[in-house]
Structure 1
Amino acid sequence: MTRAGWDRLRGPEPWTRRMLLGDLAIAAVPALLGLGIEELDNGSGWRMAASAAAVVLLTLLRRRLPAATLVVGSAVTVFLPGSFLVTTVLGWSAGRRIVGVGRAGAAFTLAFVAAVGLSVWHEWEQMQPLLMVVFSTLMFLATTVTPGLASRYWSQRRTLLSALQERNGQLMRERAMVAGQARLRERQRIAQDMHDSLGHQLALISVHTGALEVDPKLTERQREAVGVLRQASVAAMHELREVVGILRDGVEAPVPVEEPAQPAGRGVAGIAGVVEAARGAGTDVRLSVSGRPRPLVAACDHAAYRIVQEALTNAYKHAPGAPITLELRYEDDSLVVEIANGPAAGPGAGEVVSGGQGLTGLRERARLVGGMVHAGATEGGGFRVAGVLPYGAEPAGAAAVADDFGQQAQARGLRGAPPMDWSVVDRELAVPRRGPVGGLALGCGIAFAAVVLLVIVLGAGMLLVVGSLGDSMLDREGYDAVRVGESEQAVRDRLPSGENFLTAGADRKGPPRPEGSDCLALMAQEQPDSLGSDLIYRFCFKDGTLVDKQAYEVKQ
């Protein structure tokens, strides 16, 4: 039961040692300032101790019981002026932690009634009730309501930002899923078309070249050329199977066991095979490698293979019979792939089928891995293709579309190029997403504003007091000039107009008043040297005549 009670008082937030020390540090400030207030008010030792204990206790319980501590703190400050400043801390905590506008409004209203009502009741004999209500209301607004409203606004804005960011992340994840499903459907459609069309044509080429290879009418040279064509068609079928598998499932398709031929290596290691195939077809290709071979990332390795493959294909089509030189240079920071061919040895074989997009695709492929490709004619009438590829590079096309809310997607595991950074918005609003530093800074700002408002209220009160002193003070000569037995009207015409809160109730603290009389108490201009008492001049009237006048001291 003790542990359950302790857990209930501790509340939903973990009460760590760091939090306990922080609360004690927060309580120390109003407690020390409260001791000074008690000293100015001539408070006793037990009242100072009670004020400090109330401040510490209310500060520690404010997390679990924000509404109760707010009401109790507002009531306690009436009887313990030294605990007055804790209402700012309680108002800030209540505005942040009370759930629901109705409950928060009820808590602050009850605290206001307790503060103002008890103040009027406690000081009923000392001050004018209406003036006390106005002064207590201004003080409550400055020290309790203002921090509470600021805290509630800050908490709701932080919650709203967190909810918007979470909703944004959810929408981005859903959109990524929808886009991924759309891409998968399109890739499956493309894979099916490639399998049905290109696969069928390559299979026909392989079958016919296989039959032609065993034709006894062919010469040995022709049979070798047909064999090269058959091997090329088989390799193309394997590559097509790999591409279809990647498009459909995102993984390479496995090679059947009964097929002895393996897919061509699509990297720098497979360039030698491409060169040998070209030589087997009768093309003069010379390969040279310089520098110390170094490994490349997968994307760059594949790009080098495609550059060689596309350049050789262009040479076959546009310069048949021309010698080709292929050079691989491993330099310090990149691999240089250079393919050059001389002018055509003879007329072409007729119309050349070309989409005109091969070199464009090579340039884009190299750009995506951080490299470049140059292609152009040489002085001797030939053609040259050169590619520069880094050894290690991240894909340059990783920038995806910006999200609809302008938030950086990288923070949530997605890639984006946002037009707006939410961290800039947070800095502009001065509300960090995590950490107590921003809340402390905002709290200090609100506390400073509350102190400024409190100073203004006190200044206005002082001006009111100074303005009313002239209507409630009388010098000794004026007091001596008044004679008992004079008419009430004549006496009131010579005296100040009336009382103020400094003399409220002072007419009942002196000697007994004449029965049935109406008395007027005024503050003497010449006050005694002791700070704990005031000199009062009292004039009592009955039946339109001054029947008594007294000069006496009252304790403050």
Structure 2
Amino acid sequence: MARTRAGLGWLKGPEPWTRRMLAGDLVVAGVLALVGLGVEELDNGSGLRMLASAAVVVALTLLRRRLPASTLVTGAALGAFLPGTILVTMLLGWSAGRRIIGVGRAAAAFTLAFFASVGLGVLHEWSQMRPLLVVIFTTLMFLATTVIPGLASRYWSQRRTLLSALQERNAQLLRERAMVAGQARLRERQRIAQDMHDSLGHQLALISVHTGALEVDPHLTDRQLEAVGVLRQASVAAMHELREVVGILRDGIEAPVPVEEAAQPAARGVAGIGGVVEAARGAGTDVRLTVTGEPRPLAAACDHAAYRIVQEGLTNAYKHAPGAPIAVELRYEDDSLVVEIANGPAAGPGAGEVVSGGQGLTGLRERARLVGGMVHAGAVEGGGFRVAGVLPYGAEPAGVEEVADDFGQRAQGLRAVPPMDWSVVDRELAVPERTRTGGFALGCGIAFAAVVLLVIVGGAGVALLVGSMDDSMIDRAEFDAVQVGAPEKTVRDRLPSGGSFLVAGAERKGPDRPEGSDCTALLARDQPSGLGKDLVFRFCFTDGKLVDKQAYEVDQ
């Protein structure tokens, strides 16, 4: 069993050979062997030669994957002696054209096969004394049945290899483009993080220092000290948030909280909304928090988005409606959490110019969209303003989608990557027009050459058929003129040679032949009018004399 597996492993060669492929090769070998048996029958082959022809066809078909050059040369050489293997050379030429590595080796293999086919063909047919006709016919048959399939197979294999290389190159370009875009984003985020740390960090540190100093100022009233405490707590919370944002911008993850600051971490979810509301109340704002429904856990991204919506809604109310009462409501519904912040009209004019970047609500909408939710903001009756967000439970961050490229390949995460300019990729992978034209011209040239060769082979076959008919046909008068008892040499000089496939086996048909005689069969030029019958003239010789001549009809 182990030897059988090793033999099959060697037989299949370097490429995978599945059971389906093995079954296909066996079917092809069987069909070619059956057709070869028919060719052998037409050539009057013996039973042993038919068996050998079938065995050679099966062996060459199975070995062509492992030994493409050797099977090509062997099949071309044996074709001169075994006509039943003539069709397998088409399969061998196709296989050798795509499996022989290197143009030089392929040309050498096909050249050696050509000389083997022509040389052995001439040697086998030397007795017919027509070497030139054999050379021409064998050459044309070799070109039509071996060279043309080999060229077509090599062209097809190279085209498939080119497409595979283009696909691999395209995938590499996608990976490199994503890597370059990721590195560019990382550098930009690091630059932004550095700018935020240097500017905002410095300003918040100053606020914290000054408010800390004011907390111990004995000249301030209790109300003022309470307000200063609120400011200090807000500056410390802002420092925590700034550190977190800088860490995310730099590394893509939240920055760790130092041990000394872990006692008062800034909550970043629904649990921290109460703290935000209490801080707003401490600053003198009338804020009411209402929670309805059964609280349910949220995904981390949704939890953080809810906190940010409340924070941004309160900030907008501080800026645009100072002194107005604010209502914050959390509603746990069946499929989502609704966060609503509503304020009434401003109680009086603002303290001064309102500084706003105009991106707060836009950022909230994008944040909610990324987790599968939505945010709505707008004015309400009575001059107030309302911000409402709907966030699903257990939603995963959006933004990763699969995009198919021109070759059907997939690339993930392209939403976060700048849109790819496929025109640039097409220009980089485009094949020059003259190359495409040259490939088309090559394919047309191969097809045209195949048609021309087939026409030439057909013409040569017709010419050979006409010549064979001349060598195997006589008139009735010539048959009657030959007398029994005449010397064999005299009779053969008057008659054609009869060496043609048209009369192959005809001498064994008809009346019994004289014992020990050597017979030659020829066709009559004037055949009977009935279809399916041939009139045959047979001459039998013994001891150098014509001992018998017969005229009889045989089935075609």
Give the TM-score normalised by the residue count of structure 2.
Answer: 0.75
2:126 aligns to what SS in structure 1?
Answer: coil
- Give the structure 2 partner of residue 159 of structure 1: 161
Q: Percent identity?
A: 75
Distance 1:208 1:500, change over 3 A: farther
Displacement of 1:42 after TM fit? 2.7
Per-residue CA distance 1:177-222 (angstroms, 9 max, x = gap): 3333332222222222111111111111112112222333333333
- Give the structure 2 partner of residue 330 of structure 1: 332
2:260 aligns to what SS in structure 1?
Answer: coil
Displacement of 1:60 after TM fit? 2.3
How far apart are the structure 2 equivalents of 1:277 and 1:503? Answer: 111
Distance 1:279 1:52, change over 3 A: same
- Give the structure 1 partner of residue 106 of structure 2: 104
1:271 equivalent to 2:240? Answer: no
C-alpha contact 2:11 2:62 (8 A) present in aligned 1: no
C-alpha contact 2:403 2:411 (8 A) present in aligned 1: no
Displacement of 1:401 after TM fit? 9.4
How far apart are the structure 1 equivalents of 2:412 and 2:34? Answer: 47
Per-residue CA distance 1:46-86 (angstroms, 9 max, x = gap): 11221121112212221221111101011112211222222
Q: Which amino acid aligns with 1:42?
A: N
Q: Which amino acid aligns with 1:360?
A: T
Q: Specify which of 211, 218, 230 is matched with residue 216 of structure 1.
A: 218
2:328 aligns to what SS in structure 1?
Answer: strand
Q: Specify which of 50, 62, 73 is matched with residue 52 of structure 2.
A: 50
- Give the structure 2 partner of residue 297 of structure 1: 299
How many residues get paired?
487
- Give the structure 2 partner of residue 68 of structure 1: 70
How far apart are the structure 1 equivalents of 2:108 and 2:468? Answer: 39
Q: Which amino acid aligns with 1:196?
A: D
1:78 aligns to what SS in structure 2?
Answer: coil
Distance 1:534 1:301, change over 3 A: farther
Distance 1:191 1:336, change over 3 A: same
Displacement of 1:282 after TM fit? 1.9
How far apart are the structure 2 equivalents of 1:277 and 1:37? Answer: 101
Distance 1:268 1:535, change over 3 A: farther
How far apart are the structure 2 equivalents of 1:35 and 1:275? Answer: 97
Per-residue CA distance 1:267-319 (angstroms, 9 max, x = gap): 22222221121122222222222334333333333222211111110101111
Q: Which amino acid aligns with 1:281?
A: A
Distance 1:457 1:387, change over 3 A: farther
1:32 equivalent to 2:34? Answer: yes
C-alpha contact 2:322 2:350 (8 A) present in aligned 1: yes
How far apart are the structure 2 equivalents of 1:384 and 1:136? Answer: 93
1:180 equivalent to 2:188? Answer: no
Per-residue CA distance 1:225-253 (angstroms, 9 max, x = gap): 22221111101101111111122222322
Displacement of 1:369 after TM fit? 3.0
C-alpha contact 1:127 1:504 (8 A) present in aligned 2: no
How far apart are the structure 1 equivalents of 2:412 and 2:89? Answer: 41
How far apart are the structure 1 equivalents of 2:79 and 2:65? Answer: 20
How far apart are the structure 2 equivalents of 1:31 and 1:467? Answer: 29
C-alpha contact 1:245 1:251 (8 A) present in aligned 2: yes
Between 184-193 and 411-420, the greater mean CA deviation after superposition: 411-420
1:117 aligns to what SS in structure 2?
Answer: helix
- Give the structure 1 partner of residue 380 of structure 2: 378
1:346 aligns to what SS in structure 2?
Answer: coil
C-alpha contact 2:379 2:386 (8 A) present in aligned 1: yes
- Give the structure 2 partner of residue 476 of structure 1: 476
C-alpha contact 1:407 1:418 (8 A) present in aligned 2: no
C-alpha contact 2:174 2:411 (8 A) present in aligned 1: no
Displacement of 1:450 after TM fit? 13
- Give the structure 1 partner of residue 510 of structure 2: none
C-alpha contact 1:402 1:418 (8 A) present in aligned 2: no
- Give the structure 2 partner of residue 148 of structure 1: 150
1:314 equivalent to 2:316? Answer: yes
- Give the structure 1 partner of residue 440 of structure 2: none
Distance 1:412 1:46, change over 3 A: farther
Per-residue CA distance 1:394-419 (angstroms, 9 max, x = gap): 5554469997xx45663588778779
How far apart are the structure 2 equivalents of 1:83 and 1:532? Answer: 29
How far apart are the structure 2 equivalents of 1:394 and 1:171? Answer: 29
Q: Specify which of 341, 344, 347 is matched with residue 345 of structure 1.
A: 347
C-alpha contact 2:401 2:414 (8 A) present in aligned 1: no
How far apart are the structure 2 equivalents of 1:43 and 1:320? Answer: 111
Q: How does 1:231-310 map to 2 (within 5 A)?
A: 231-259=233-261, 261-310=263-312
Q: Specify which of 99, 113, 116 is matched with residue 118 of structure 2.
A: 116
How far apart are the structure 2 equivalents of 1:119 and 1:354? Answer: 96
- Give the structure 2 partner of residue 525 of structure 1: 525
2:157 aligns to what SS in structure 1?
Answer: helix
Distance 1:308 1:5, change over 3 A: closer
Q: Which amino acid aligns with 1:323?
A: P
Displacement of 1:95 after TM fit? 0.9
C-alpha contact 2:375 2:390 (8 A) present in aligned 1: yes
Displacement of 1:13 after TM fit? 3.7
How far apart are the structure 2 equivalents of 1:279 and 1:269? Answer: 17
2:334 aligns to what SS in structure 1?
Answer: coil
2:79 aligns to what SS in structure 1?
Answer: helix
How far apart are the structure 2 equivalents of 1:162 and 1:4? Answer: 31
C-alpha contact 2:373 2:390 (8 A) present in aligned 1: yes
Displacement of 1:551 after TM fit? 8.6
Per-residue CA distance 1:510-546 (angstroms, 9 max, x = gap): xxxxxxxxxxx99631579999996489xxxxxxxxx
Displacement of 1:337 after TM fit? 1.8
Give the TM-score normalised by the residue count of structure 1.
Answer: 0.75
Q: Which amino acid aligns with 1:264?
A: A
How far apart are the structure 1 equivalents of 2:288 and 2:498? Answer: 114
How far apart are the structure 2 equivalents of 1:86 and 1:503? Answer: 22
- Give the structure 1 partner of residue 392 of structure 2: 390
- Give the structure 2 partner of residue 229 of structure 1: 231
RMSD: 4.4
1:353 aligns to what SS in structure 2?
Answer: coil
Displacement of 1:503 after TM fit? 9.7
- Give the structure 2 partner of residue 41 of structure 1: 43
C-alpha contact 1:87 1:143 (8 A) present in aligned 2: yes
How far apart are the structure 2 equivalents of 1:91 and 1:139? Answer: 12
- Give the structure 2 partner of residue 136 of structure 1: 138
Q: Which amino acid aligns with 1:525?
A: R
